[in-house]
Structure 1
Amino acid sequence: MRNYSIPALLLIPCLLFIGGCRKAETGAERRHEIKPRIVSLAPSVTEMMFAIGAGEHLVGRTTACDWPAEAAKVPVAGAFGRPSMEMLASMHPDIVIDVDLEEERNSSKIKDLNIRTERIVCKNPDDIPGAIRTLGKLTGHQRKADSLAGVIENGLAGFRKKNLLRAEKPLVYLEIWDDPFWTGGKDSYTSALIAYAGGRNIGDAVRKEYFEISQEWVIEQNPDIIACMYMSKETPAAAGVMQRTGWHHISAVRHKKVFDGFDNSLFLRPGPRVLEGIAQMERLIEKK
């Protein structure tokens, strides 16, 4: 039997403790380094991911995910609402994040690949801060996500307070497409955005998200402002509206308050740039 001195015996537990700490630290470091591989199936999700500094987690996106510019470097997993199962499988993601897929059965197909799915739903601007915080938790970027969510919440509160003092709220017609004519209804994201900007959406007469309309219906609603969310190949969209038969009776046409040339993603896509979209709409409403 070996004869250890007292100082040597005291040293043994100290070394074991230090070794244990080193192992724990190494394990923590490794856990910190693990970054979930994520495929985003919606432009709004992709924008929020980059906004909270989690763009590095993206290993796949849709062809509609076009902002910010860095998103172009992320491989494509299919079209918005129509992901390619073969592409998804080849990307080996830990999580696939969608909003409302074009076909619900796509979600089942993704689960059949043993891939975890998460759904981020933003029906109106008020849902955006919560969606950002959820993505922060999924990616480990909670601090930046909480900060951005707080900024958006404060911004929305500012617009809400300002609108309480607004005496008049002009009627706004958001023309999403002109062949056939489409606009947003009372349940749409665009309706809530218009309300935050201080206007009233003519589509609020219909309890739907987005729906097809007739020219006669628009004339009857007589909007004060018309905003075209598309690019026209032949003539500018606004000029085309001004020339439509029978539309000269509409207030927006008479007062030349028909606008185009927008980045429609600011108005149609619920994401981190929501305050910018509301501010642009507000400028149209206040424009003399």
Structure 2
Amino acid sequence: MSDAVTLHGPRRIVCLTEEPTETLYALGEQDRIVGISGFTVRPPEARREKPKVSAFTSAKIGAILALRPDMAIGFSDIQADIAAELVRNGVEVWISNHRSVDGIVDYVRRLGALVGVPARANTYADSLQRGLDEVAARAATLPRRPRVYFEEWDDPPITGIRWVAELLRIAGGDDVFPELAAEPLAKQRILADAGEVVRRAPGIIIGSWCGKKFRPDRVAARPGWDAIPAVRDGELHEVKSPLILQPGPAALTDGVRALAAIVHGWSQRERARGRG
């Protein structure tokens, strides 16, 4: 069934985070967007075309209201204060709170339904799932799976969120802190003892320090970390945060493929080191 031609749903949307912007562009519904997050990089035309009115933990409420939105879309409890202020000013707000790969796929379907293009959204979501299945099928051919420490912030060290751990598994690796990945809040994923990374001995370290460049030299210089196999073998890698730390299409496409490239590269180098 095709989507109706008549325009349904909100017509003037402010995207407080990146994933609704990328999703609406992918669905061909970008004309509904009147404002975006200043962190938006995907697609690049969004950054050129749309006014930037929010960060992640703050927003220009006056600028948003001047755009006369009929809906604002954001993510997580971290944006609760922004949402409350907009609601007090008469703006309808949808704050999604999905934290898993399945949740991201479902988010695409829900957002599409919200703007009146459910068939198009289902087709797009199905294509995202097929891409994940293809990555998983290739990962199944690896002779063994590496143990991976994923760090999304360095001071204090914060481990990866649930969808990152799930994408690592799809890409062929295993998160060394699965019990922390299940925690929804960043403060619950702070490593109280960074020495635990040494004890868990990851073969790969991946950094995605939100908003700043990953520094593998600083990681390798941490006390005692020279004993970690990943440090010993030089397996410290970066995945840019816009690709993996926003719960939208980027993570399910370029993000998971970046993880898979690191895992498969490690596997090839392990064979060359006589360990594969």
Q: Do they fold alike, i.e. is TM over 0.5? A: yes
For residues 48-82 of structure 1, the C-alpha deviation after alignment (integer angstroms, 9 at most, x for no partner) is 11121112111111222232212222112222132
Q: Which runs of 5+ in 2 are unaligned?
A: 270-276
The one-letter amino acid of 2:227's match is H
Q: Give the match for residue 169 of structure 1.
A: 145
1:93 aligned partner: 69
Q: Is residue 2:127 matched to residue 1:151?
A: yes
Counterpart residue number, 2:178: 204
- Per the alignment, residue 256 of structure 2 pairs with 278
Structure 1 residue 101: deviation in Å? 4.2
Select which of 175, 182, 205 maps to 1:226.
205
- CA offsets per residue over residues 207-261 of structure 1, 9 Å max, x none? 424322233121111111011213877xx7123333333212111112221113x
1:136 deviates by: 1.8
Q: In the TM superposition, what is the alpha-carbon distance from 1:84 to its structure 2 partner?
A: 3.0
TM-score, structure 2 as length reference: 0.81
Q: Give the secondary-structure state (helix, strand or coil) at the position aligned to 2:190.
A: strand
Asked whether 1:55 is paired with 2:30, we answer yes
Deviation, 1:166, is: 5.0
Aligned to 1:9: none
Given that 1:170 and 1:225 are in contact with CA atoms closer than 8 Å, whether structure 2 keeps it comes out as yes
Structure-2 separation of matches of 1:47 and 1:279: 17
Q: 1:33 & 1:271 partners in 2: Cα distance?
A: 22
Q: Deviations along 1:18-45, whole A, 9 cap, x unmatched?
A: xxxxxxxxxx98x549971101111111
Q: Is the 8 A contact 1:40 1:62 kept in 2?
A: yes
* TM-score after normalising by structure 1: 0.78
Conservation of the 8 A alpha-carbon contact between 1:101 and 1:107: no
Counterparts in 2 of 1:204 and 1:155: CA distance versus 1, 3 Å: same
Give the share of equivalent positions with the same residue, in percent: 25
Indicate if the aligned counterparts of 1:78 and 1:87 stay in contact, CA closer than 8 A: no
Please tell me whether residue 215 in structure 1 is matched to residue 194 in structure 2: yes
Determine which structure has more spread, i.e. the larger CA radius of gyration.
1
Pick the aligned partner of 1:136 from 112, 130, 140. Answer: 112
| Structure 1 residue corresponding to 2:232, chosen from 251, 254, 258 | 254
- Aligned residue pair count: 255
C-alpha separation in 2, matches of 1:93 and 1:106: 14
Shift of 1:179: 2.1
- Residues 33, 157 of structure 1: alpha-carbon distance in 2 compared, 3 angstrom cutoff: closer
Q: Does the 8 A contact of 1:175 with 1:181 survive in 2?
A: yes
Stretch moving more, 60-69 or 140-149: 140-149
Cα distance in 1 for residues equivalent to 2:8 and 2:183: 45
Q: CA RMSD in A?
A: 2.6
**Shift of residue 169 of structure 1?**
2.2
Q: What's 1:10 paired with? A: none
Residues 175 and 183 in structure 1, CA contact (< 8 A), matched pair in contact too:
yes
